[in-house]
Structure 1
Amino acid sequence: MKKRFILLFSVIILLLSACNTNEEKKQEKAASENEKDTITYESENGPVEVPADPQRVVVLSQFAGNLIKLGVNIVGADSWAKDNPRFEELKDAATVSDDNLEQIIELEPDLIIGLSSAKNIDKLKEIAPTVTFTYGKADYLQQHIEVGKLVNKEEEARKWVENFEQEATEVGKQIKDKIGEDATVSVVEKFDKQWYVFGDNWGRGTEILYQAMGLKMPETVKKHALKDGYYALSEEVIPDFAGDYLIVSDQSGAKDTSYLESDIFQSIPAVQNDNVFVIDGKKFYFNDASTLEYQLEFFKGKFLGE
């Protein structure tokens, strides 16, 4: 009898032990699966736990084109991105801003991305994991890699950067062979009745022209716009900032270029030599991966006639 009791007790212990082991394995498996659901991104402000495969991203500024190129779904984007006629992927996305928190809450985002200058960042963090970038802290290509890291697609982002650099460098060589090593290029824009000239990191194709291709800017542009990225000027002095080639960013969609017929513009050698390329400012505004591809093809066609 005693032996039977000991045997039965041993069986019960073994069964309980097996149950506990199975339960521990289930918990470990569940924990492992949960870990795979998120990654830790090392942001400017410290580590942030974000979705490993974000499905509902709200982007408040600047980075919509990076996400589009990486195939990430965007449920809300800033007005500048929404106004870009090239971003067809955003047609169903809501137009959002950092001061309309209720609208962002309704979108149920699993990730929010914006600039460090955004409003209500602490409140945004209560809605979903929020990561911000300081404009210009990373160069335009490294920025794409950082966005890639954030959405767990770093390898894809790095591959894109590598291919882009190779193509842009080659196109730049071809352009310099055609127009000359010393030929200069300026990028100007009229916005809200004010003219601007741009340095080498303010969108509108400046990163490609000056950084990737290595084309030259006039000394006046270098002196006034290189440091801050842009410089406001009156129409009367545009000839002083115009290079051998003049890129005009038109925020109206290049629908009315009558200003090129003015006496001021007609006095510019680039205009006289038909070396003016008018660009649709809304398509050219940013320096994200999607926009950079478009800009590169545009300049390739205009400078090389391809």
Structure 2
Amino acid sequence: MKKLFIPILFLFVLIVSACGNNETENEENTTKTEVESETFTYQSETGPVEVPKDPQRIIALTNGPNVLALDANIVGIDEWTNMNPLFEERLGGVEIVTEDNLEKIIELEPDLIIAGSYMKNIDKLNEIAPTVVYTWGKLDYLTQQIEIGKLLNKEKEAIEWVNDFKERAESTGEAIRAKIGEDATVSVIESGDKEFYVFGNNYARGTEILYQAMNLKMPNKVQELALESGIYTFSSEMLPEFAGDYVILSKNPDVDNSFMDTELWKNIPAVKDNHIYEINTKASTYSDPITLDYLLEIFEESFLSN
């Protein structure tokens, strides 16, 4: 009986052990599947990056406004976005960080970092959390929003906004051209400390709306000097040369704007005709959905309500 009992007992132990191993393997596989289901592979400009499907602690060193437009949760933001009055209410309690603030970034425990390709410490940021980089200007302003939508697993929402915005902007542009004439020119000029800037068709300040979406015309001199570079710097004496039939004045409240009291400015035809429409520089330096919707409303009211 003893000889028979020992093999049976040994067989029982083997069966129990095998069951335990199977349960452990099943648990590991289940855990692995759960982890995999919580992430996906985003095809970034630098290659595939495994990112969370529903990031809860995003640090946006760049493209912060695009992220805010999709109602994603940001815990760290760059200082320029933080200073923009359009985003003030949305950024309450959010920390200001740079790519050099590695200790602070670690403390914020991000699950996703968005950075510019020109920034330092990209490798170190990748060690903290999955890091996706974008090169400024590589994508047009609408495609950029769709890419942020893909990254945040909100591509559908991004595409819906793009389609709606294009429809609204094109319709408004048609109404504006019908009112001011197909050949009327529009300049976007910004005041600086000691100089002025005029912009091409892709340098924020509403230029994408006016020139791309609405198909309004810029003066020949602006096209010659600012279209390719995006921006051209000039002195106050040249203001009449860059002013179109209509001028969008990106007015910086922090600089000396006494030029508006000079005879040079007052004698510009667009000024005499009351065709100067002001926007706040601080609220106009991005091309994200929040800024674009804000500026589109201003342009619609300025051109069509007079």
TM-score by length of 2: 0.91
Partner SS state of residue 76, structure 1: strand
What is the deviation of 1:16? 4.9
Distance 2:165 2:78 in 1: 26
Paired with 2:24 and 2:106, the residues of 1 have a C-alpha distance of 37
CA distance in 2 between partners of 1:159 and 1:129 (Å): 27
Name the residue aligned to 2:200.
Answer: 199
Find the aligned partners of 1:162 and 1:15 in 2 and give their Cα distance. 61
Quick one: structure 1 residues 229 and 34, their matched pair in 2 at CA, closer, same or farther if it must change by over 3 Å? same
Check whether the contact 2:114–2:133 (CA below 8 A) recurs between aligned residues.
Answer: yes
Question: Does residue 188 of structure 1 match 2:183?
Answer: no
How is 1:104-253 mapped onto 2 (pairs within 5 angstroms)? Answer: 104-252=105-253
In structure 2, the partner of 1:273 is: 273
Q: Evaluate the alpha carbon distance shift between residue 257 and residue 274 of structure 1 in structure 2; reply closer, same or farther with a 3 A threshold.
A: farther
1:70 corresponds to: 70
In the alignment, which residue of structure 1 is the partner of 2:262? Answer: 262
Contact kept? 1:82, 1:91, Cα under 8 Å: no
Tell me, yes or no, if the aligned pair for 2:191 and 2:251 is still in contact at 8 Å. Answer: yes
Matches within 5 A, 1:1-12: none
Structure 1 stretches lacking a partner, 5+ long: none
| AA of the residue aligned to 2:84 | N
Contact 2:206 2:284 in 1 (8 A): yes
Identify the range of structure 1 (265-274 vs 138-147) with the bigger mean alpha-carbon deviation: 265-274
Contact kept? 1:168, 1:296, Cα under 8 Å: yes
* 1:216-256 C-alpha deviation (Å, 9 max, x unpaired): 11111111001111011111112111111101112227x97
Supply the AA of the counterpart residue of 2:46.
N
CA contact (8 A) 2:59 2:113 kept: yes
CA apart distance, 1:203: 0.5
- Three-state SS of the structure 1 residue aligned to 2:187 is strand
1:69-88 map, 5 Å? 69-87=69-87, 88=89
Deviates more, 1:18-27 or 1:273-282: 18-27
Q: Which residue of 1 aligns with 2:97?
A: 96
Report the residue type matching 2:125 in the other structure.
Answer: L
> How far apart are the structure 2 equivalents of 1:152 and 1:160?
15
Instruction: State the Cα distance separating 1:50 from its structure 2 match.
Output: 1.6
Residues 102 and 12 of structure 1: CA distance in aligned 2, closer, same or farther (over 3 Å): closer
Q: Are 2:304 and 1:304 equivalent residues in the alignment?
A: yes
Query: Deviations along 1:34-57, whole A, 9 cap, x unmatched?
Result: 012222111111111122211111
What is the RMSD computed on CA atoms of the aligned residues?
Answer: 2.2
Q: Which amino acid aligns with 2:136?
A: Y
1:6-27 Cα offsets, whole Å, 9 max, x none, are 8877776665554444433322
Gapped regions of structure 2 (runs ≥ 5)? none
CA drift at 1:176: 0.9
Q: Which amino acid aligns with 1:122?
A: D
Q: 1:112 to 1:191 in 2, by over 3 A?
A: farther
Q: Distance in 1 between matches of 2:294 and 2:198?
A: 21
Q: Does 1:25 align with 2:26?
A: yes
Partner of 2:43: 42
Identity %: 50
